[in-house]
Amino acid sequence: MPLSLRLALRDWDYMTPLVLGDVSSPKLDIKVDRVGTLLSHLGKSDHYDVAEMSFSRYTQLRIDGDESVVGIPNFIMRGFRHRCIITRKDGPITELGQLAGKRIGVTGWRDSGNTWTRAALRREGVGVEDAMWYAGRLTEAHPVVDRLDGFGRPGRIEAAPGERPMVDLLKEGFLDAIFTPFMPDGYFGGGSPFRQVVSDFRGAERRYFDDVGYVPGMHLIGIKADIVAQNPWVIEELSKLIDESQRMWLSKRRKYADTSPFMMDELLKSAAELPVGWEASGFAVNRKMIADFASELHVQGILPQLMTPEDLFSFDVDGSRIG
């Protein structure tokens, strides 16, 4: 009888084959729930066995000594961050270095994506202490929640004034820029009052990749530790399914590129500019990226001590022990 697992995932297109059952395993019966918000703590969930997890929050579990979740170095969400910094279309800021001394909005202080975005900004000479930060909801449609997560500091890192949407604060000139991986409604319609700070963000991201050698990972896959203890093989089996789902979706995307007029050009450029295996799962191939992320969490004051990659991961994607 296959092992039943309930898996919480965000709505990533490359997980469609897994959701539809186009990739499957005789050892696993996976029920996928598409969620809009990541679980706050998989280890305490009564509903899920496996989940997409924030890399930042996973590292917090490790530093807290919480071993209820086993993290797999299979990074289900990756992305460059230069494109995620927006400003007013009529504003003067056109380079990341110009954000020194400015007011910057973030959708969550400790979010993995925002940690990587601050890392990109830090490479341009703008650290946490070089700007004024405001954490808040992006638009009116987003909920009012605690986005400081205990990292607020008066005069440096504060909640958005009156919990007002940050797009409004940017329009009015209170904010100079916003970090957001998800563009506000209307952004792609041509009439948006906003634009990316870096107009050639693709070029900046390509140079970033040439420097660091990876596309930053934001989310990973976590499994409840008691399930792993009883079924050690589950790590390898699940990771294989996720990788196969991604491979199958890329194959279909290439076949049906006409779904977007310029998709063929994008696919050709991506294949030419990124090496084969840039998205590979596994500890060794991602070790530098993991180490850099842990370093950023420490430098930015999110983790009180520097964690090594071996501190963060006990198992590789094939189920073998690390270290």
* pLDDT 10s digits, 174-221: 999 999 999 999 999 888 999 999 999 999 999 999 999 999 999 999
pLDDT number for residue 112: 97
Which amino acid, one-letter code, is at 249?
W
> Which band of pLDDT confidence, cut at 50, 70 and 90, is reported for residue 56?
very high
pLDDT number for residue 189: 84
Query: Hey, how many other C-beta atoms are within 10 angstroms of the C-beta on 233?
Result: 13
Q: Tokens in use for 103?
A: 């007011």
pLDDT number for residue 318: 97
Q: Which are the contacts of 180, defined by CB distance < 8 A and separation ≥ 6?
A: 84, 86, 107, 138, 166
Q: Which are the contacts of 271, defined by CB distance < 8 A and separation ≥ 6?
A: none
Give 134-164 as a 3 state SS string: EECCCCCCCCCCCCCCCCCECCCEEECHHHC
Cα 267 to chain centroid, rounded: 22
Instruction: List, for residues 256-274, the tens digit of each pLDDT value.
Output: 988 889 999 999 999 999 9
pLDDT number for residue 247: 96
The mean pLDDT of the chain is 96
pLDDT over threshold 80, residue 107: yes
Sign of the torsion formed by the C-alpha atoms of 89, 94, 95 and 97: negative
Instruction: List, for residues 229-256, the tens digit of each pLDDT value.
Output: 999 999 999 999 999 999 999 999 999 9
> Which band of pLDDT confidence, cut at 50, 70 and 90, is reported for residue 108?
very high
pLDDT over threshold 90, residue 70: yes
Contact between 135 and 148 under an 8 Å Cβ cutoff? The reply is yes
pLDDT number for residue 289: 98
The DSSP bridge partners found for residue 53 are 220
pLDDT number for residue 63: 95
Question: In terms of Cα–Cα distance, which of 300, 287, 21, 27 is closest to 153?
Answer: 300
**Residue 221 exposure: Cα atoms within 13 Å on the Cβ side:** 29
pLDDT number for residue 130: 98
Angle between helices 283-299 and 55-63 (to 10 degrees): 80
pLDDT number for residue 60: 96
pTM of the model: 0.95
pLDDT number for residue 323: 75
Instruction: List, for residues 134-170, the tens digit of each pLDDT value.
Output: 999 999 999 999 999 999 999 999 999 999 999 999 9
Question: In terms of Cα–Cα distance, which of 73, 101, 92 is closest to 317?
Answer: 73
Give 277-288 as a 3 state SS string: CCCCCCHHHHHH
Question: In terms of Cα–Cα distance, which of 151, 150, 147 is closest to 163?
Answer: 147
pLDDT over threshold 80, residue 62: yes
pLDDT number for residue 259: 87
